[in-house]
Amino acid sequence: MTSVLTRFFNIRREEVAPILAAALYFFCILTALMILRPTRDALGMQRGLDAIRWLFMVTLVATLVVNPLFGWLVARFRRLIFITATHAFFAVNLLLFCGLLVFAPQAVGETTGMVFYVWMSVFNLFITMVFWALMADRFSLEQSKRIFGVIAVGGTLGAIFGSSLAALLAEVLGAAMLLVVAAGFLGLATAAAWMVALLQPERAVAHGPERAPAVDERARIGGSAWEGFRAVFRSPYLLGVSGYVLILAV
């Protein structure tokens, strides 16, 4: 595996372990997302396709409301602690939704379905945002041009695997237990995130003028809740990326 990556993808030997950990992290995230999509669609579309446009609007508003809070929290917590807490928060949410479906199915109506649909869209946006934030923290610009494509393959495989797993397990376990399986993959994603941070290559052997900066994984990220908005509106490139992520989320 190491020789293949170094030979065909211009990856240096000391980068192989953290790249594989990052690909595993992305794999687990996309697997969880794809497992949840059938449940989201089934619950959120109980009112039919006419409800979709309202769900999109509510999702947009929810994202705009939650984003400043998200930025405020990011600025005040250490990287890995924040990632772990984010994954744990969403995993607990999934277990609560599962408990509702199992123990109080009569309470799961159209309103609950719409809440889960919007929650899923926000979850989709922020869980991938946390992932790429860690990748940007972890790798330099020069490294990202070489290795982000390889890391993205992990996400593609996760999407394929997650869709197939959801189709298989839905018949065996039912929709409610799919939420538990997705929560399990969030736990695996958390472990992979810690692996990414702990398996960083030696900075002294980085090549090229753009070396990855030394990163204190225990440090707070810093910044304000609105700093991300200002950075996005100052950069046409970031505006394009943000638009793409928003469309993907809804």
Mind listing the pLDDT tens digit for each residue in 164-173? 999 998 888 8
Q: Is residue 150's pLDDT more than 80?
A: yes
Mean pLDDT of 150-165: 92
Does residue 34 lie within any of the structural domains? Answer: yes
Question: Higher pLDDT residue, 47 or 196?
Answer: 196
Does residue 120 lie within any of the structural domains? Answer: yes
Q: Indicate the pTM of the whole model.
A: 0.78
Dihedral (Cα; 79, 83, 89, 94), 10-degree rounding:
170
Residue 182, C-beta contacts closer than 8 angstroms, at least 6 positions apart: 31, 32, 33, 35, 36, 94
Least confident of 82-91, 150-159, 162-171, 193-202: 193-202
Residue 22 has a pLDDT of: 94
Question: Residue 83 carries which side chain, given as an amino acid letter?
Answer: I
Residue 191 has a pLDDT of: 96
Distance (Å, rounded) from C-alpha 83 to C-alpha 232? 22
Question: Higher pLDDT residue, 199 or 204?
Answer: 199
Q: What percentage of the chain carries pLDDT values higher than 90?
A: 27
> What's the pLDDT band for 116 if we cut at 50, 70, 90?
confident
Domain containing 195: what range?
15-200+217-249
Mean pLDDT of 63-87: 82
What CATH number is associated with residue 148? 1.20.1250
Does residue 163 lie within any of the structural domains? Answer: yes
Mind listing the pLDDT tens digit for each residue in 32-71? 999 998 888 777 766 666 667 777 788 778 878 887 777 7
Residue 201 has a pLDDT of: 46
Mean pLDDT of 147-158: 90
Does residue 4 lie within any of the structural domains? Answer: no
Question: Higher pLDDT residue, 209 or 65?
Answer: 65
Does residue 45 lie within any of the structural domains? Answer: yes
Does residue 234 lie within any of the structural domains? Answer: yes
Please provide the average confidence, as pLDDT, over all residues in the chain.
Answer: 79
Mean pLDDT of 118-130: 87
233 exposure class (CB count in 10 Å sphere: 0-12, 13-18, 19+)? exposed
Mind listing the pLDDT tens digit for each residue in 216-247? 555 555 555 566 667 778 877 667 767 766 66
The two three-digit tokens of residue 239, written as one number: 């505006």
Question: Residue 141 carries which side chain, given as an amino acid letter?
Answer: L
Residue 209 has a pLDDT of: 45
Residue 80 has a pLDDT of: 85
Does residue 40 lie within any of the structural domains? Answer: yes
Distance (Å, rounded) from C-alpha 61 to C-alpha 144? 32
Mean pLDDT of 112-134: 86
Q: What percentage of the chain carries pLDDT values higher than 70?
A: 74
Report the domain count for the chain.
1
